[in-house]
Amino acid sequence: MGARRGRRAAAALRGARRLCHWGPLVALAVVAVCSATALADAALWYWPLDTAGGSVNFIVLLNWTVMILYNYFNAMFVGPGYVPLGWAPEKSQDCMYLQYCKVCQSYKAPRSHHCRKCNRCVMKMDHHCPWINNCCGYQNHASFTLFLLLAPLGCIHASFIFVMTMYTQLYNRISFGWSSVKIDMSAAKRDPRPIIPFGLSAFAASLFALGLALGTTIAVGMLFIIQMKVILTNKTSIESWIEEKAKDRIQYYQTGETFIFPYDMGSKWKNFKQVFTWSGIPEGDGLDWPVRDGCHQYSLTIEQLKQKADKRVRSVRYRAVEDYSGVCCPVTKGVKTFFTTPCTEEPRIALSKGDLILATRGLKHWMYGEKILDSAADGGIRERGWFPRKCVEKCQYDSEMDQPMDGEKKSR
């Protein structure tokens, strides 16, 4: 009994920590403002609840809020599902096709990736979403996508309520004169005065909520379209990137290979059912996946190993010539460096003069690579992240210095 209470307390603490993050706090604040304002506008000033249409409208608005929050909290607290610590394939010879995670002390199952924020290997990882402060992956992909669908639909309905409320209330307060048009916010000219008057503060609140709703509709709607594109091909955002790099690698080396994505079932409906099911529980166990005919169970992981080896070949060794604190937008490294900081959640790495870095990709004013720690032997742990290009110079006597950088060949 004591152990069970301890587990419940630990789960509650993890949930509280997950909520206490800027992403969920901002997302829930937007939902609260839009929902509360829409419900108040509809009930008080636009469509009274004593009419059948007003009652139905109010119930639909309330239903949007409930469904949005249900799928949002499902995506946040159910989580993506993690590869068990110490996991290894049943057949020991299959280990040669998989990468090994030193943090989780296990092999990375097909379609799984290690998340630096969650500090675990995530099954079918799509991305780490700051708005739910969790990864989107195998178990919560459907809930996350439904949230991305329902949020814009609810915001469109709320926007209609905001516009109609402001229109009807302002129309009832406009006085047309011979030379001017006056708006009296103190009372309606035609309709009976409501219990709570629609004053200037209510107008400002409706206008502010309208801006939030329209912004959410555009931003979240675009994310929904992106998610549906990858779902209908049975991919994740990371796997789409891996497929693109596979084509680049084959074209760069002219190997004559043909990379076929193994998890595309050949039908959009079949791919759709891999994520959305009537039971709400995704198919499979998150470790083994059905593959299309002619593909190997480890086709994707074999390609990842090839890309990892290719990245080591193409990496260029640099030496730090200036100190860099690791801040996102360094003021002292130049105006161009400040304004072109990479728009990504990938970390920055602090540099001290003399540090060695293996750069794997780069932009015009920034580079991404791994800092080789003094205490690490070859193949040891490295710190990875972005750093300003002007803080480093290429090592002139390094065996890898003539290799072209992946980022210089093609900026991603």
Number of residues that this document lists for the chain: 412
For residues 331 and 337, what is the distance between their CA atoms, to the nearest angstrom? 8
CA 31 to CA 151: how far, in whole Å?
8
Active-site annotation holds for 329: no
Q: Which amino acid is at 95?
A: C
Closest CA to 356 of 374, 329, 334, 335: 374
Which DSSP letter does residue 157 get?
H
Are 68 and 28 spatial neighbours (Cβ–Cβ below 8 Å)?
Answer: no
How many angstroms separate the CA atoms of 216 and 210, rounded? 10
Q: Which residue's entry shows tokens 């801040």?
A: 327
- Identified catalytic residue from 121, 129, 135, 136: 129
- Cα torsion angle, 62, 64, 70, 72, sign: negative
Strand partners, 370: 358, 384
Task: State which H helix or E strand residue 101 sits in.
Answer: strand 100-101
Q: What distance in Å separates the CA atoms of residue 211 and residue 4, rounded to the nearest whole number?
A: 46
Cα 86 from Cα 112, distance rounded (Å): 14
CA distance 342 to 327: 12
* Catalytic residue annotation: 129
